C-alpha cells in the first residue's frame, strides 16, 4: 500500500453536545405511552393565546433534547404543525417555533433533517427568511411592545437553516433556488449591531458554499465585496476573529468564481486571516479571559467542581463541525442546546469564539492542501501494470488512506510559508496548554472548552499530516525541528488521549507522514523498538481501520530504516512476525494489504533483513498465506471494498507474488 490520501474536512453530522447524533427511527410501537408529552404539546400549538403557543414551542424545544421522544413528535406530524408558527403574528412564538425545529434537527440527526425537508419545513422557513432580507424596511408596527426582536427570530431561523443544509443536499438545492444567499449576506452585514446573528450567518454560509457549483455560478461581485469587507475589518475581539475566519472559508469555497488575478489577491488575504487566527495563543488567552471574568463578578457560577448538579452543566452546544466518527455514541443531552451563551458571559463567549476560529482555520488549511481526486501520475503509481485483474475505473469518495498527497501549487506553497503557517500548525499540535486545561477542568461553566481545545489539537495533527509532504525540511525548522516534532508526537501516542479515536487517527496519521519524511532524508527516528511494538499492539487493536493501517505503515517505515543498520536482525524479526500475524488474522483486507506492503518494505533489501527473514521462515509463511489472500480478495473484494481500494489490493496481490519470487531467488544463492 504505502499511500495516504490527504484528509479533507466535510460537513459532518452533529448533535447538541458536539457528538454525532444517533439517527432516530420513525417507526415504533403505535401504542405509545399515553403520558408522552407530544400529543398535548402539539395540541397547544393551535391555541388562540400567543402565550400558550409560545409555551408549547419552548416545551417542545426542551423535550426533543431527549432523542427517544423525537419519534413521538414525528409520528404526530410535528414539523407541519410547528412550521406555520414561523410566520406567527407573535415574534416570541416565531422565535420559539424556530428554536423547536432547530433542536429537533440537531438532536434528531441527518435522517430527521432529511425528513424535515421532505415535510416542507423549508417553505415557511424561506418565507420567514425573505422577511429577514427586508429587515431594515420590515414593518414592525404589529410587533411594537413585544419583548423579542426580529433579529432574535432571524438568528434562530438562520441556525435552523444551517442545520438542515448541513445534513441535506435537498435543503442546499432549495437554498439555491430560493435565493437565500441574499438573506445571509444581509445578516452578515449586521455585524456592527448584532454579532451573534452575523456569526450564525457566517457559519451557515461557510456550509452552503462548500462544493456548491450552482451557487458559485450565480455569485456576483456584491457577495465577494461583503466577504472581503469582513476580512478587512480591524476589530480585535475573538468574535470578530471567528467572523473573519468563517468569511475566509466561504471565500475559499467560492474562489472559482473569481478571475485568476482576483484569486491570487484573495488567497493572500484569506491566508493572512487564517495566520492571524492561529497566531493567537489560546493557552495564555483563556486564563486571561477567565481572570477578567472573575474580576468583574462574584463568579458564583464558576466554583470548583463538586457543587450542585445544576451548576455542573453549561447550556452550550458545541460547534457542529466536530469531525467525529460515526461509530461514536451520543452523550447525555444537556438541558438546552442553544449556541448562545448568556450575554453577560462575554469572556467565555470570547474564549469559545477563539477556539472555534482556530479549529475552522485548521480545517480550511486542510482543505486548501487537498484535492478530491488523484492526478494521472498518482493513478499510475497506485495501479498495477498489465497484471491488474480487478482495478476499476470508478473512484470512491471514501477516506481510505490509499492516495499520495497532491503537491501544493507553487503559489499556495509560498503564501503558506510567508505567513508562517507550518510553524503555527506545529505549535497547535502541542496544544492545549496545561494551565488552560487545569482551569477549564476546575470550573464547571468553562468545561465546555475542554473538548474544543482537544479538537483544535486534532485538527492541527490532521493538518500537519496534510502539509508535511508538501513542505521542505527547512520550512519545518530542519532536521532538529522534525526530530522534536517526532518526539512530541511519540509522547502523544503513549498518552491517555489514545482512548479517543479521533485523536488516535489524527496523531498516527501525522506520525506516519513525519516518519516517512525522516526516513527519506535519513534523519534518525525517535521510537525505540520496544516502544514501537507497544504502540503497534495498542493501535492495531483499534476498531478504526485507518488507525490500524497507520500503525502498520509506521512499523514498515521504521523497519525499512532499521534494515539499513547493523545488528538489527532481532528487531526486524520482531517487526516481521507482528506484521505477518496481522496479515493472516485481520478481518479487513485493507489492513491485511497494508501489513503485507509493510513486510515488503522491511525485508526488501539488506543483510540484516535477509537474516531476519530466514530466522522467521518468511518465505514459507508468505507461500502459505498467498492462496488465502487471493481467495479472500476474489470472494469479498467487489462487495465490500471500494474501486480504489480494490485497485491497490490487487497491486498488493501482484507484489506478493513478485516478493515470493524474490525470496526464492535469495534462497538459491
Residues 6+ apart with CB under 8 A from 345: 293, 445
Using CA atoms, how far residue 239 sits from 16, 235, 266, 350, 356, in Å, is: 21, 9, 22, 6, 9
The dihedral through the CA atoms of 99, 104, 107, 111 has a sign that is negative
Domain residues of the chain, as ranges?
Answer: 36-138+149-218, 523-668
State mean pLDDT over 514-531: 82
pLDDT tens for 482-494 read 888 888 888 787 7
String of DSSP letters for 87-105: G-S-HHHHHHHHHHHHHHH
Nearest-CA neighbor of 100 among 151, 126, 65, 71? 65
Please give the residue that has the higher pLDDT: either 533 or 72.
Answer: 72
The Cα-based distances of 70 to 8, 13, 40, 160, 162 in angstroms read: 32, 17, 14, 17, 20
Helix (H, G, I), strand (E, B) or coil at 48: coil
What the block records as the C-alpha cell of 35 is 403520558
pLDDT tens per residue across span 204-251 = 999 999 999 999 998 999 999 999 999 999 999 999 999 999 999 999
User: Range with the lowest mean pLDDT among 28-42, 409-423, 644-658?
Assistant: 28-42
Chain centroid, CA 267 distance in Å? 22
Find the distance separating the first CA and the last CA of the chain, reported in whole Å.
Answer: 29
User: What pLDDT band is residue 3 in, cutting at 50, 70 and 90?
Assistant: low
CATH number of 523-668: 1.25.10
Buried b (16+ CB within 10 A) or exposed e, 622-652: beebbeebeeebeeebeeebbebbbbbbbbb
Phi then psi for residue 541, to 5 deg, are -90, 0
The per-residue pLDDT for 530 is 77
CA atoms in the 13 A half-sphere facing the CB of 628: 13
Q: Using the predicted structure, report yes or no on whether residue 382 has a pLDDT greater than 60.
A: no
Count other Cβ atoms within 10 Å, centred on residue 138. Answer: 11
Looking at domain 36-138+149-218, its CATH class is mainly alpha
**What is the DSSP annotation of 446-461?**
GTHHHHHHHHHHHHHH
Distance CA 559, CA 538 (A): 18
8 Å CB contact between 224 and 209: no
CA 87 to each of CA 237, 387, 527: distance values in angstroms, whole numbers, following the listed order: 35, 65, 63
Render pLDDT for 154-186 as a digit per residue (tens, 0 to 9): 999 999 999 999 999 999 999 999 999 999 999
Give residue-wise pLDDT tens across range 102-144: 999 999 989 999 999 999 999 999 999 988 776 554 444 445 5
Same fold, 36-138+149-218 and 523-668: yes
The cell 474562489 sits on which residue? 255
DSSP state of 476: G
DSSP state of 209: T
Whole-structure pTM value: 0.80
416-434 average pLDDT score = 84
Task: Name the percent of the chain lying above pLDDT 90.
Answer: 50
Question: Which of 67, 75, 169, 71 minimizes the C-alpha distance to 122?
Answer: 169
Spatial contact of 19 and 330, defined as CB atoms under 8 Å apart: yes
Amino acid at each position: 500500500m504505502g499511500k495516504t490520501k490527504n484528509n479533507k474536512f466535510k460537513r459532518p453530522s452533529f448533535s447538541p453536545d458536539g457528538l454525532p447524533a444517533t439517527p432516530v427511527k420513525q417507526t415504533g410501537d403505535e401504542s405509545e405511552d399515553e403520558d408522552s408529552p407530544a400529543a398535548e404539546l402539539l395540541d397547544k400549538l393551535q391555541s388562540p393565546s400567543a402565550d400558550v403557543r409560545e409555551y408549547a414551542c419552548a416545551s417542545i424545544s426542551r423535550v426533543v433534547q431527549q432523542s427517544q421522544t423525537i419519534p413521538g413528535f414525528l409520528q404526530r406530524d410535528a414539523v407541519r404543525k410547528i412550521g406555520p408558527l414561523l410566520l406567527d403574528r407573535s415574534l416570541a412564538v416565531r422565535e420559539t417555533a424556530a428554536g423547536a425545529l432547530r433542536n429537533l434537527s440537531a438532536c434528531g440527526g441527518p435522517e430527521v433533517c432529511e425528513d424535515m425537508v421532505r415535510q416542507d419545513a423549508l417553505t415557511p422557513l424561506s418565507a420567514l427568511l425573505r422577511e429577514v432580507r427586508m429587515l431594515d424596511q420590515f414593518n414592525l408596527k404589529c410587533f411594537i411592545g413585544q419583548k423579542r426582536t426580529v433579529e432574535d427570530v432571524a438568528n434562530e431561523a438562520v441556525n435552523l437553516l444551517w442545520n438542515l443544509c448541513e445534513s441535506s443536499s435537498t435543503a442546499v438545492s432549495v437554498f439555491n433556488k430560493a435565493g437565500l444567499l441574499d438573506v445571509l449576506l444581509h445578516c452578515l452585514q449586521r455585524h456592527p449591531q448584532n454579532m451573534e446573528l452575523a456569526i450564525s450567518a457566517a457559519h451557515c454560509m461557510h456550509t452552503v458554499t462548500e462544493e456548491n457549483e450552482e451557487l458559485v455560478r450565480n455569485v456576483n461581485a456584491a457577495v465577494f465585496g461583503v466577504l472581503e469587507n469582513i476580512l478587512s475589518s480591524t476589530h480585535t475581539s475573538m468574535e470578530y476573529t471567528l467572523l473573519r475566519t468563517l468569511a475566509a472559508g466561504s471565500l475559499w469555497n467560492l474562489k472559482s468564481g473569481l478571475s485568476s488575478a482576483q484569486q491570487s489577491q484573495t488567497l493572500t488575504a484569506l491566508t493572512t486571516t487564517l495566520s492571524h487566527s492561529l497566531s493567537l495563543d489560546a493557552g495564555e488567552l483563556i486564563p486571561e479571559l477567565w481572570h477578567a471574568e472573575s474580576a468583574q463578578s462574584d463568579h458564583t457560577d464558576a466554583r470548583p467542581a463538586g457543587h450542585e448538579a445544576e451548576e455542573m452543566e453549561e447550556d452550550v452546544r458545541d460547534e457542529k463541525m466536530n469531525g467525529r466518527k460515526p461509530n461514536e455514541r451520543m452523550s447525555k443531552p444537556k438541558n438546552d442546546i442553544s449556541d448562545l451563551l448568556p450575554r453577560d458571559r462575554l469572556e467565555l463567549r470570547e474564549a469559545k469564539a477563539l477556539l472555534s476560529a482556530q479549529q475552522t482555520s485548521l480545517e480550511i488549511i486542510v482543505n486548501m492542501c487537498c484535492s478530491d481526486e488523484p492526478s494521472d501520475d498518482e493513478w499510475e503509481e497506485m495501479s498495477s501494470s498489465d497484471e491488474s485483474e480487478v482495478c476499476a475505473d470508478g473512484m470512491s469518495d471514501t477516506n481510505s488512506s490509499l492516495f499520495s498527497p497532491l503537491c501544493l501549487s507553487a503559489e499556495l506553497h509560498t503564501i503558506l510559508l510567508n505567513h508562517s503557517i507550518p510553524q503555527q500548525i506545529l505549535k497547535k499540535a502541542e496544544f492545549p496548554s496545561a494551565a488552560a486545561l487545569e482551569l477549564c477542568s476546575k470550573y464547571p461553566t468553562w468545561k465546555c472548552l475542554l473538548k474544543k481545545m482537544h479538537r483544535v489539537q486534532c485538527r492541527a495533527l490532521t493538518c500537519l499530516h496534510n502539509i508535511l509532504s508538501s513542505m521542505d525540511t527547512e520550512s519545518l525548522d530542519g532536521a532538529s525541528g522534525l526530530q522534536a516534532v517526532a518526539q512530541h508526537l511519540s509522547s502523544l501516542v503513549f498518552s491517555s488521549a489514545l482512548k479517543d479515536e479521533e485523536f488516535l487517527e489524527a496523531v498516527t496519521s501525522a506520525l506516519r507522514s513525519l516518519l516517512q519524511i525522516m526516513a527519506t532524508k535519513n534523519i534518525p527516528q525517535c521510537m525505540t523498538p520496544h516502544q514501537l511494538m507497544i504502540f503497534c499492539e495498542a493501535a492495531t487493536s483499534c476498531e478504526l481501520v485507518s488507525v490500524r493501517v497507520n500503525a502498520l505503515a509506521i512499523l514498515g517505515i521504521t523497519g525499512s530504516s532499521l534494515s539499513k543498520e547493523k545488528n538489527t536482525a532481532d528487531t526486524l524479526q520482531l517487526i516481521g512476525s507482528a506484521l505477518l500475524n496481522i496479515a493472516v488474522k485481520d478481518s479487513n483486507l485493507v489492513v491485511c494489504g497494508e501489513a503485507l506492503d509493510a513486510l515488503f518494505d522491511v525485508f526488501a533489501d539488506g543483510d540484516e533483513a535477509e537474516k531476519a527473514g530466514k530466522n522467521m521462515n518468511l518465505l514459507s509463511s508468505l507461500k502459505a498465506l498467498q492462496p488465502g489472500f487471493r481467495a479472500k480478495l476474489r470472494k469479498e473484494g467487489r462487495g465490500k471494498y471500494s474501486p480504489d481500494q480494490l485497485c491497490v489490493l490487487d497491486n498488493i496481490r501482484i507484489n506478493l507474488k513478485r516478493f515470493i519470487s524474490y525470496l526464492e531467488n535469495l534462497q538459491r544463492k
